Amino acid sequence: MSQISSGLEWDMRLERELFKHARHFDAIEVIPENFFFAERIQLTESLRRLKATKKPILFHGVELSIGSSEPLKRDHLSNMMRLMEILEPTVYSEHLSMTEASGVEIGQLTPLLWTKELADYIAQKIRYVQASVGIPFLIENISNRFVLPYTEITETNFINRILNSAKCGLLLDITNVLTNSVNYDFDPYIWIDALDLSFVRQIHLAGGARDSDNVLEDSHDQAVWDESWQLYAYVIRKLGPIPTVIERTGNIPQFDSLVQEAKKARQIQETYGLTAMAA
Amino acid sequence: MGQAQFQKALAMLIRLPEHNRQNLEQFLAAHELSCEEKENLRVLAHHREVNKFGYKMRNGRINYILESIPISLEYVDQENFIDLIKKEFDPKHSLVYARKIYRDFRAFMVSLRELPHEAWRKYLGDPPEFFFDLLEFEMLDSELEFQGFGERPLMDQSPLLHTSFEVLSLEYRIHDFVEKKRNPLKKKSSRILPFKEKTSLLFLKEGEGEYGYQLYEIDDVGINFLKKSLLGRKAKAPSYYQDLVESGLCK
């Protein structure tokens, strides 16, 4: 992938348009679990078509549950690696969350208790994953549906501790930062500044909506918020160009508007990122 | 509370039925939990966001989602399935969940023989109404090799089927499948529900609009047939099921 780049997320509903307009963006993000069937990988037509695009493929896993206090789900990782052999992704990211708790499949990205002990345990699991997959591995900050009172350290310290210990990358989800900042009333710019940005390897942008309790959600069903673009530009000014993916999985608009968002991410990288690099 | 304790308490909270949630102290008094476990569960249950999250994620939600959707065979593809779930239930939260549900079903349908035991239990413990229809569709559609069934029953081939209940379920399914193969025009479907302790209620749908049940007692030795009854014609199977629930026959 070139240094300035923007991509879109694969979705079955978007597939035809995605492949048709592939020249307008640089990479395709894939949720690998969408291709897991019955604990095995099936070489579906979608997989064949994805491979045929020759675009860099970015894996974005949703079910490794790397934040759980249980041991790593090695069978799940094995499936992931089998799919990697087929699609040859350039990077593999997972959410810094859990989707299983004590044998219960939660089915949602669930926040963790931010403690040093857990950070160290997650870093240990990440080291194993990195050694296994052989491609860059990233963790992504999530939008927190709740924050527990028993946290020992801040979220940014928790993330930094994992990054520095595991030496993995960070997939910085700008919209998740904004979502949390609104729901928990903090300054997203200060949050970003507290993060060790040297680990950022990829960025996510999306839009969301408020639920019935007026809680902001990272629901991926709206255009990217203006505030997200502003925070994105702030990060790019600091870091230079970073591969960026627009996430849109609900309320799917005309494909052209997604292409425009991908182009806008490229423009911001060109405008602010190159300046940052020169400085 | 550490992460492990948090997970344990969250798992309990997710499993907790609504009436226990409303009367938490009563539930805690009636269950043998350590003081720490009780306190952790209290903390999560009294935490507004966590409690709300636990409520949404409780196991029953899967069935609630599925049963609230008028699903039929035409919806058995990922695009429609996810759209349906999003449309019918909590569109802002359910995408990952919908993917998972779809994949679980697909896994079940496509690869019956390889399905992990846990997944069997998950579904057979409380099968959604259209469960067997989906299974049947996939069995017919994916050309699973059931030809050897007569000489070598599938249940004997599979180390995954451990309980009488599972054998019973599969037995009936295969019977139904064979019947359907013999006479494709005959409409026949069924579902099995857990019935009290060690007892299963096998729902039958015989022909168009006729409903009945078979009652089996399951013990360590095997299956004892207790009762069979055809209750005549009913407008809808779900209302018949509701009648049984209300009568206390079916838990």
Residue-range domains of chain A with CATH: 6-278 (3.20.20.150)
Establish if A105 touches chain B: CB-CB under 8 angstroms. Answer: yes
Higher per-residue pLDDT: B144 or B88: B88
Coil, strand or helix: which one is A194? helix
Stretch A133-148: mean pLDDT = 94
Interface of A with B in 180-239 (CB under 8 A): 208-209, 211, 213, 217, 219-221
The complex scores an ipTM of 0.86
What count of other Cβ atoms lies within 10 Å of the Cβ of residue B181?
11
Establish if A36 touches chain B: CB-CB under 8 angstroms. Answer: yes
User: Residue A40's pLDDT is what?
Assistant: 55
| Radius of gyration for the alpha carbons in chain A, expressed in angstroms and rounded | 18
Q: What is the pLDDT of residues B115-174, one digit of tens each?
A: 333 443 443 333 333 333 334 333 322 222 222 222 222 222 222 222 333 333 443 444
Q: CB A107 to CB B97 under 8 A?
A: yes
CA gap A216, A225 in Å, rounded = 12
Q: In this structure, what are the phi and psi dihedrals at residue B2, rounded to the nearest 5 degrees?
A: -95, 180
| A108, A118, A249 ranked by CB distance to B97: nearest | A108
Establish if A162 touches chain B: CB-CB under 8 angstroms. Answer: no
Q: What is the pLDDT of residues A8-48, one digit of tens each?
A: 888 766 777 888 888 889 999 998 887 775 455 656 667 78
CA gap B156, B158 in Å, rounded = 6
Alpha helices in chain A (DSSP H): 15-20, 45-52, 74-87, 116-133, 155-166, 174-184, 188-194, 226-239, 255-268, 274-278
Nearest-CA neighbor of B78 among A128, A11, A159, A149?
A: A11
Interface of B with A in 13-32 (CB under 8 A): 14-15
| Portion of chain A with pLDDT greater than 90, in percent | 60
Q: What is the pLDDT of residues A79-92, one digit of tens each?
A: 899 999 989 999 99
Nearest-CA neighbor of A59 among A141, A167, A133, A124?
A: A133
pLDDT above 60 for B101: no
| Residue-wise DSSP of A8-58 | EE--GGGHHHHHHTGGGSSEEEE-GGGGEETTEE---HHHHHHHHT---EE
Contact at 8 Å (CB) between B214 and B225? yes
What count of other Cβ atoms lies within 10 Å of the Cβ of residue A152?
14
Q: CB B96 to CB A105 under 8 A?
A: no
Pairing of strands A104-110, A98-101: antiparallel
The residues, ordered by sequence, that sit 6+ positions from B159 with a Cβ below 8 Å of its Cβ are none
pLDDT above 70 for B11: yes
Shortest distance, CA B43 to any CA of chain A (angstroms): 9
pLDDT above 60 for B228: no
Q: CB B92 to CB A98 under 8 A?
A: no
Contact at 8 Å (CB) between A93 and A130? no
CA angle A165, A66, A214 (to 5 degrees): 110
Establish if B121 touches chain A: CB-CB under 8 angstroms. Answer: no
